[in-house]
Structure 1
Amino acid sequence: MGSRRDYYRDQNAPKPNSLKPGGSALVADEAGRVLMQRRGDSGNWSLPGGIMEVGETLEECVIRETREETGLDIEITGLLGIYTDPEHVIEYSDGEVRQEFAIVYRGRVVGGEIQVSHESTEVRFLSLEELEGLPVHPTVRLRLQHHREQWQTPWLG
């Protein structure tokens, strides 16, 4: 896997040359802890998710990516929000520079066991308080804030 660099509200960010539909899952356990993975490419804690493949829905993508990245099977229970901030740009080592486009679903675990994938160094449920002291990208912090605030309608931004 290549490396990536996130730019956020950075005037020196490279110009995006790609826009791909992606999704992620915000999965909380009974204690309110959130399923997070520590990314191997950036070291940041993040929600599981990824890019849609041809022939699948975004919901199927999020379920597949969560299984691949965490070992857990989930079902989708709702929509946290749509996150399309053009000031969040991700540069990959292959020359792709992607503008953020992520739909974040709420989900719950229905099976499986936590496993670390080749994309991450650690996978676990973390409390919102624990996450405050860990490396988390500002755009993921926004999603966690929306979860904490228990928004009744999805974020559209």
Structure 2
Amino acid sequence: MTRIEYYDDPAAPAPNSMVVAASAVIADHEGKILMQRRADSGLWALPGGGMEIDESLPDVAVREVKEETGYEVEITGLVGTYTDPRHIIAYSDGEVRRQFNVCFKARLTGGDPLISDESLEIRWVPVNELDELPMHDTQRLRLRHYLEERDQPYLG
């Protein structure tokens, strides 16, 4: 299944679902950020995904990081909430999603790198190389908020 992300695009299809999701920014001891290249779009993104009915949002972030990258993490803080209705994700199966994402800060606790069927590649990326990666603007926004080391999480 493939996906196309839209932001503030009048040509975007109308959403037919809303999915609550979590993502995580994980930095290693050198400050490199864990990124994945998504199989459904080919774009780089933070690990994350949709919430199951029996999970908390922090649990989602921990599970998704493990599933998509092989790494184990613990949640250490909150980057922000990302609920802009102008961000639409259209999937090839006909789902058109309005995303509701909570982005956490997390600390690596273990695991080994593993590329899942949702990822084409995973990589620890130096901060000064993030701009070189093709990614959607909403991912760049989350990274920018994380790198700003804000006193309060972004609420948007």
TM tier, smaller: over 0.9
The list of structure 1 runs, each at least 4 consecutive aligned residues, that deviate by more than 3 angstroms after superposition, is none
Quick one: distance in 1 between partners of 2:87 and 2:52? 22
Counterpart mapping for 1:19-34 below 5 A? 19-34=18-33
Residue 32 of structure 1: how far off its partner (Å):
1.1
Residue 75 of structure 1: how far off its partner (Å):
0.2
Residue 41 of structure 1: how far off its partner (Å):
1.1
Which amino acid in structure 2 is aligned with residue 141 of structure 1?
Answer: R
Residue 148 of structure 1: how far off its partner (Å):
1.4
Counterpart mapping for 1:8-157 below 5 A? 8-157=7-156
Cα shift readout 1:61-97 (whole Å, capped 9, x = no counterpart): 1101100000000000000000011111000111111
| Superposition RMSD in Å | 0.8
Quick one: distance in 1 between partners of 2:80 and 2:103? 5
Quick one: distance in 1 between partners of 2:80 and 2:102? 6
Deviates more, 1:56-65 or 1:102-111: 56-65
Q: Partner of 2:129: helix, strand, or coil?
A: helix
TM score, norm. by length of structure 2: 0.97
Cα shift readout 1:94-125 (whole Å, capped 9, x = no counterpart): 11111121000100110101111111111111
Quick one: distance in 2 between partners of 1:76 and 1:155? 17
Which amino acid in structure 1 is aligned with residue 108 of structure 2?
Answer: V
Which amino acid in structure 1 is aligned with residue 10 of structure 2?
Answer: Q
Structure 2's unaligned 5+ residue stretches are: none
Quick one: distance in 1 between partners of 2:132 and 2:74? 29
Q: Partner of 1:101: helix, strand, or coil?
A: strand
Quick one: distance in 2 between partners of 1:115 and 1:123? 8
Q: Partner of 1:63: helix, strand, or coil?
A: helix
Structure 1's unaligned 5+ residue stretches are: none
Residue 54 of structure 1: how far off its partner (Å):
1.5
Which amino acid in structure 2 is aligned with residue 130 of structure 1?
Answer: E
Q: Partner of 2:31: helix, strand, or coil?
A: coil
